[in-house]
Structure 1
């Protein structure tokens, strides 16, 4: 994503930045970075005192995030489209076995496929100034029948914390945002202190903040955005 023209820096902290968002066709990624401050690259009209017009320019690239060749092609396409390397990486692509098998009944190929997308898909695209990996609050809740998914997302959280330390002195930050899955929150809604389901709009501003300069001192953290149920 990139902005078409300049605007007010205080209201548009991501103005002129290029972001790559994997898994961007659905879920929280479809709204990341968010369209209100902190925001994705946008422009402000000259008319209107406090009004901001959203002008995000975006392209869609199909790629398997666990295949190095396709990940490289994804980054090359972004660089060609926007005239420079990406500043922000949001790794949101993920898979979950809809059969919810217990660990003992999880086929090896399903385990491998889950780790290929959820863990390796975070490993391949890296080294941007702001790295935000999407984990899951399932790592904290540890619901039965989520073994492969929870294990793969726990790997993402551990990898992110190690990466943050390894990038010392580079100015690159690496953090995780861990939303609550909609199905989980529906089951646990009575336990959520805020008493409601989380929405995409609850997650996107957190990602936008971590991607902005204001988030430069937050590094190696897992931010659980689930209304307090974990």
Structure 2
């Protein structure tokens, strides 16, 4: 079950964290993985690990906010069966404390970046006559998270785009779903805490961990397992849905 043998998958932001976990698992299950990543060295490191484990992968240094670069990269890759829009950045701030520059940066990476990959990837999926798109949303798309105005905006857009794409390309045999994680422990989270809460790392980590009712952050591998299912043939009847992976945050955090 959950074999991706013979499939070609593009995963953005596959150089670390959730994207890396998805890349590793998809390759393990037989997919040829194409990692699109701003940090080309990180992408190549993931490729090296995949190849060492017997998988097949390739790395592409690309800024997803640049449509011309994205289109060119997708053209190099050619036929695909799966697109995982995972690349994204975070930001701390409320509506009146978020600068226009920061707002635009978050929008360009998280929203325009996903759009650019959809713009370049859907024609390739249509040629194949079928395919799967998986977008990485967030619980911030559906619940209020303190000091995450721009980030929440961007993930709300991802949530809405998922529904739109699922509807528009159903007749082309393309499925589209999204995953909405709560806090997941990645190197990004550690760096984020260190940058914004210097000297309070342990305290903030504990606080963020306990904000999930299960009392811990999620693991990248747990997100990857759900991604594998949603992109596999076993999920062939699923489209236009968002899947919270949140340790009970949305429904049980009273």
TM tier, shorter chain?
A: 0.7 to 0.9
Q: CA contact under 8 A between 1:34 and 1:205: conserved in structure 2?
A: no
Q: CA contact under 8 A between 1:160 and 1:220: conserved in structure 2?
A: yes
Secondary structure at the aligned position of 1:77 is classed as helix
- From 206, 220, 231, the equivalent of 1:211 is 231
Q: CA deviation at 1:67?
A: 1.4
| Alpha-carbon distance in structure 2 between the residues aligned to 1:56 and 1:167 | 31
| Alpha-carbon distance in structure 2 between the residues aligned to 1:144 and 1:227 | 18
Structure 1 match to 2:99: 107
Structure 1 residues 209 and 192, CA, compared in 2 at 3 Å: closer, same or farther? Answer: same
User: Superposition RMSD on alpha carbons, in Å?
Assistant: 2.4
Report how many aligned residue pairs link the two structures: 203
Matches for 1:54-69 after TM superposition, within 5 Å: 54-69=53-68
* TM-score of the pair, normalised by structure 1: 0.80
Q: Is 1:31 the counterpart of 2:33 in the alignment?
A: no
Q: CA contact under 8 A between 1:188 and 1:229: conserved in structure 2?
A: no
Structure 1 residues 26 and 114, CA, compared in 2 at 3 Å: closer, same or farther? Answer: same
* Unaligned stretches of 5+ residues in structure 1: 1-9, 43-52, 80-84
Q: CA contact under 8 A between 1:35 and 1:54: conserved in structure 2?
A: no
Q: CA deviation at 1:185?
A: 8.4
Structure 2 match to 1:157: 159
Q: CA contact under 8 A between 2:27 and 2:56: conserved in structure 1?
A: no
- From 66, 76, 94, the equivalent of 2:88 is 94
Q: C-alpha deviations, 1:33-83, integer Å up to 9, x for none?
A: 4538993428xxxxxxxxxx953211110111121111112212323xxxx
* Unaligned stretches of 5+ residues in structure 2: 33-51, 126-130, 190-203
Matches for 1:125-164 after TM superposition, within 5 Å: 125-126=117-118, 127=122, 128=125, 129-164=131-166
Q: CA contact under 8 A between 1:173 and 1:219: conserved in structure 2?
A: yes
- From 215, 218, 221, the equivalent of 1:201 is 221
Q: Is 1:13 the counterpart of 2:13 in the alignment?
A: no
Q: CA contact under 8 A between 1:13 and 1:37: conserved in structure 2?
A: no
Q: C-alpha deviations, 1:133-157, integer Å up to 9, x for none?
A: 1011222332121000001110011
Q: CA contact under 8 A between 2:213 and 2:249: conserved in structure 1?
A: yes
Q: Is 1:222 the counterpart of 2:222 in the alignment?
A: no
| Alpha-carbon distance in structure 2 between the residues aligned to 1:60 and 1:20 | 10
Structure 1 residues 36 and 161, CA, compared in 2 at 3 Å: closer, same or farther? Answer: closer
Q: Is 1:121 the counterpart of 2:113 in the alignment?
A: yes
Secondary structure at the aligned position of 1:35 is classed as helix
Structure 1 residues 119 and 61, CA, compared in 2 at 3 Å: closer, same or farther? Answer: same
Q: CA contact under 8 A between 1:22 and 1:29: conserved in structure 2?
A: yes
Structure 1 residues 56 and 75, CA, compared in 2 at 3 Å: closer, same or farther? Answer: same
| Alpha-carbon distance in structure 2 between the residues aligned to 1:39 and 1:133 | 20
